Amino acid sequence: MTETTTGTMSTTPLCDQLRAAGQWNPNWDPFYELDPAWTEKFMVMGLAPMQSGVLDAKTIEFIAIAVDASCTHMYGPGVRRHIRQALAVGATKEEITAVLQCVSVLGIHTMSLGAPILLEELAAHERRDPATTTNR
């Protein structure tokens, strides 16, 4: 626990630190409002690999860019913040572009899943209603 400016002890020091540093995602507010202690534990767990010192700063920023830019996350303010930080720790535009290119393939799973299902359903539809068969 850390002491706040009002002299009370905060039970969410990491959440408080993220807010103060401008690194708090407002999408986390509902979690925090419902259960501040759980949110604090989640943040501690999520940030532990980054704060452990095992990975260098540039690698951490690349991972953060990839997570924030992924099709399952798409958090623009985080992408912007981590690109800025990656550049500040020496990343090149080519390296950052490569990270974005790597993470872009996550979206291909939409087609990997959806295209075969579409073909199966089209075949089933055509078997049920021969009038809808098209010349291919």
Give bridge partners of residue 10 from the DSSP assignment. Answer: 2
User: Taking the model in full, what pTM does it have?
Assistant: 0.71
Q: Convert the pLDDT of each residue in 77-133 to its tens digit.
A: 999 999 999 999 999 999 999 999 999 988 888 788 888 998 999 999 999 977 755
Rounded distance, CA 117 to CA 74, Å? 26
pLDDT band per the 50, 70, 90 thresholds, residue 135: low
Q: What is the pLDDT of residue 1?
A: 47
H/E stretch holding 62 reads helix 57-69
**Every domain of the chain and the residues it spans:** 1-52
- Which pair of tokens denotes residue 92? 């090149």
| 8-57: pLDDT as tens digits | 568 999 999 999 998 898 989 999 999 999 999 999 998 998 889 999 99
